[in-house]
Copies of this chain bind each other. A is one copy, B any other.
């Protein structure tokens, strides 16, 4: 007799059927979101988890491999399974497709220009599915690659996910790591939409270029592990020495 929530022989109506390993994966993911294990921490071994969940070790393995594909955990042979964390590496390359022409990826830096709590503009409301009266913190940054200004960013963060972030005095330039450690929001994926626009006077000043030059405008909606839209970001990028690079398969 088993009282495990994973006893598939007793599971509900067949319409709700989900393979055991998916249920296990979802449950482990939920436990990570609830910080039973925090980013960087090791999970119990496959056998321990199997025992806890009353499933076989092979089923736990399949679940953990799924979470590995989703980059939610990282596995190292002989060492263990760890909750993924955004490192400098990760934050700067995994979600930063802008590259200098003809070079390998370089370490970008960011300069914070302003922080402000304000009512959400209509485009932000639409993008983040907010309510009319929700407030957002608006950050403006300028990024530097190879000692040259390469892009300006305007970042909107809903007050509900980032309470009081506008009062912080120590916002670092590795934002995604900061989201994870201070606000328990782990960036999981982004949806980027790219257009070409002409630089206006503001762009010209910020990026030290002439108005009328072509820029890449990247609109990003950022989603957390929990599936919430946690960030909307507009990046205006010089395109003369840089390009946005992406692989499709």
Size class of the contact patch on chain A: 20 to 34
Contact with B along A214-249 (1 / 0, CB 8 A): 111000000000000000000000010001111111
Question: Within the complex, what minimum Cβ distance (angstroms) separates A90 from chain B?
Answer: 12
In-complex Cβ contact of A248 among B94, B196, B249 (8 A) = B94
In-complex Cβ contact of A190 among B193, B195, B243, B248 (8 A) = B248
Contacts of A214 in B (CB 8 A): 195-198, 214-215
CB nearest to A216 among chain B residues: B196
Say yes or no: is A194 at the interface (Cβ < 8 Å to chain B): yes
Given contacts A248-B95, A249-B71, contact A215 B191 (CB under 8 A): no
Contacts of A70 in B (CB 8 A): 249
Q: How far is the CA of A192 from the CA of B245 in the complex (A)?
A: 6
Question: Within the complex, what minimum Cβ distance (angstroms) separates A116 from chain B?
Answer: 27
Say yes or no: is A97 at the interface (Cβ < 8 Å to chain B): yes
Q: How far is the CA of A229 from the CA of B96 in the complex (A)?
A: 25
Pairwise interchain contact A192-B248, C-beta atoms closer than 8 A: yes
With most chain B CB atoms within 10 A of its CB, the pick from A71, A214, A247 is A214
Contacts of A190 in B (CB 8 A): 247-249
B-binding residues in A (CB < 8 A)? 70-71, 94-95, 97, 188-198, 214-216, 239, 243-249
- 29 A–B contacts from the bound complex (CB under 8 Å): A71-B249, A94-B248, A95-B248, A97-B248, A188-B249, A189-B247, A189-B248, A189-B249, A190-B247, A190-B249, A191-B245, A192-B247, A192-B248, A193-B244, A194-B194, A194-B216, A194-B243, A195-B214, A195-B216, A195-B239, A195-B244, A196-B196, A196-B214, A196-B216, A196-B239, A197-B214, A198-B214, A216-B216, A246-B246
